[in-house]
A and B are shown apart, each in its own frame.
Chain A
Amino acid sequence: MSGVISYPRTDGSDRFKRDLERIEALIVEIEQTLNVENLEGILALISLVGWDQLPEALRIRYLGLLAQKSRELERQQRSRGDARDEAGRLAEQKLHMMMQQMDRCLIAHCPWEARRDQEPLTVEGVHDRIKDARQRIDDKGYQPLFSDDELLALSLTDTVAQSRYKVRFMERKYFGDNGKGGFMGVAFEGASGVGVKYWNTSFGQIEDADSDYRLIANKLGLEYDEDREYMLLVIDSEKAQAVCESTSVSATFEKIGAFANQELPDLYPPELTREILSPDFQAHYRDLYGQAKTHWNEKWRLSETQFHDFLREQNVEPETRILLLERLRMHMQVGNNEYFRGDGMTANLIEGSQQQYGVVELFSFDKKKLELDAYLRAGAVHVAQG
């Protein structure tokens, strides 16, 4: 009697999964050897097949890998100084056009929630994503891209600080005459005081607000004033480095402390920053610094001697005086003033939104104060059209 051996039938999903894993492994492997022509070929082939024929996860993965590779190639071109000759300039233009194409594909073929961690590759991509956000808000209303928990988690990383495209939101009057007489990071009147800080974060943090200045202001913890004219600047942080070196750090006690430990270890060792960068000490500093400023009738800043004189009059213990004086020095040097919250977040003031936090906020450090005009001429700063 002949036997029949039967096997359970499958729907082929295991095979499909294995195939996908194999494709991904191969892509990662060949990604190492890709050049501009390969990228162009891949993009052309997928376009022929049709991006929408691919499963969503694969579209995002492929575009992510291609984006990463094109960024790497762009850096290689820059470090080689390719733009110095005609052939190099053409190669740069070609790569830039491909990156624009990838940006368009990402918008056209990936849902916005899925692409939130994928930065635009070009400034044109930033503008397109702002337009896309406008359409989405018109259709569905404001929807935050990140929850409070996700924002908190992001503030503990360097993701926002290291993003390529940053934004600064400010009143138009600080822009000067098309950048002449205008500055990055002009002090601003905000919810937590006058001239406290400027608002600086990554494009990804405000993408969901498009260029609606009321939404952006409220996301940054600012009351929107209809009588004021605002503007949003998009900063290409890599190009800006060529104009003026700059570093960004999440505005948390931990990140600011680590930055100070690393940059100025003789002034701010960890034993000190542990003491002076905490919510309780910050409240103490805010209280005494404010009183001392009133005492001295100072509008600008207090010196060590002025603050010390005041603290002695208030019978503050020597040990605490030392810490307060060091905190004052840090205020002058790092810029974390008496209103510094240390949680790395702005308060969310968007009406109807249940979220507590707006965006992950950054502190920026640069070596010299330059007029915006210098950044505009270098193509490092772009005005987002509202």
Chain B
Amino acid sequence: MWKRAERYPLKPPLALIDDPQSPPAGVRLLNQIENPQAPGEHYLFFANNGGLSILRAYARPDGGYRFEQSDFPQRFIDWFAPALRDFRKPAAQDASSRLSSPAQEVGGEMLTLERGMAVGGDGSPGYIVNNWSRKRYLPGLEGHFMPMNVAWTEDFLFNGGLIRLLGDIRF
């Protein structure tokens, strides 16, 4: 049975943010935004004990909110916009992939920036950042490595104010 192994050494997990209203010690809300393309979907950015936690919040079918936490180095904030600008340029002839950047070390963690053709649903393309140094923990799937990631549509990034908001974040 196929399972993915880690490519890089994993970083120790950051503090889990169960309740954004009362975050654990060392965790501070930096900024937040609602995705205008998907009303009810919010992104919250936290400084988390020297790292960056991005929470995607959305309504549960039975009421209340569900939070998905993806962790990155704080350098992600300065790295993302220039990396995206470079990625959108035509690739060099010898580029190994047209859909993914090579893994880059950012703040001591290995990140890839990738194209996603249906990030916001069918016909709504965008970009994905995978963090190969941090594992998404899903109960029962411990032996399989899934990188923590964020996936944002181009509309959200460029028309929905996300790029601007990321530029405004200060630690």
Contact = CB atoms under 8 A, between A and B. Distances in A.
A301 interface: yes
Interface in B43-78: 56, 59, 61, 66, 68
A187 interface: yes
A174 B1 CA distance: 44
Interface stretch (B15-23, B26-34, B113-121, B161-169): B113-121
Nearest to A183: B123
A195 B61 contact: no
Interface in A207-252: 241, 245, 247
Contacts of B121: 195, 299-301
Contacts of A305: 66, 68, 136, 138
A164 interface: no
Contact of B128 (A263, A266, A300, A332): A332
B154 A185 contact: no
A109 interface: no
Interface string A309-346: 10010000011011101000001111101000000000
Contact of A308 (B90, B114, B125, B138): B138
A140 interface: no
A197 B92 CA distance: 29
A87 interface: no
A326 to B, nearest CB: 8
Contacts, number: 117
A335 B122 contact: yes
A368 interface: yes
A275 B2 contact: yes
A185 B154 CA distance: 14
B80 interface: no
B104 interface: no
Contact of A334 (B37, B117, B120, B136): B117
B141 A263 contact: no
B119 A301 contact: yes
Contacts of A312: 139-140
Contact of A195 (B98, B123, B144): B123
A9 interface: no
B114 A264 contact: yes
Contacts of B138: 304-305, 308, 321, 325
Interface in A144-198: 185-188, 195-198
A369 B125 contact: yes
Main secondary structure of the interface of B (DSSP, over half): loop
B170 interface: no
B123 A187 contact: yes
Contact of B3 (A245, A322, A334): A322
B106 interface: no
B68 A303 contact: yes
Interface residues of B, number: 45
Contacts of A185: 123
Q: Which of B68, B122, B132 has the most CB of A within 10 A?
A: B122
B91 interface: yes
B146 interface: yes
B98 A263 contact: yes
Nearest to B59: A297
B37 A186 contact: no
Nearest to A265: B97
B151 interface: yes
Contacts of A84: none
A325 B88 contact: no
Contacts of A308: 138, 141
Nearest to A318: B140
A333 B115 contact: yes
Given A245-B90, A264-B100, A264-B114, A322 B141 contact: yes
A271 interface: yes
Contacts of A267: 130
B1 A319 contact: yes
Given A303-B56, A312-B140, A321-B140, A196 B68 contact: no
B140 A331 contact: no
A333 B68 contact: no
Contacts of B118: 301, 331-335, 337
Give 4 nearest A-B pairs by CB, closest first.
Answer: A187-B123, A335-B117, A300-B121, A335-B118
21 contacts: A186-B123, A197-B123, A198-B123, A241-B90, A263-B97, A267-B130, A271-B2, A295-B61, A300-B38, A300-B41, A300-B120, A301-B119, A304-B136, A305-B68, A312-B139, A318-B141, A321-B140, A322-B1, A333-B99, A335-B125, A337-B122
Interface of A: 185-188, 195-198, 241, 245, 247, 262-264, 266-267, 269, 271-272, 275, 295-297, 299-301, 303-306, 308-309, 312, 318-319, 321-323, 325, 331-335, 337, 365-369
Given A275-B2, A321-B138, A322-B144, 10 more contacts: A196-B122, A197-B122, A272-B2, A300-B38, A305-B66, A305-B68, A321-B141, A335-B117, A365-B98, A368-B88
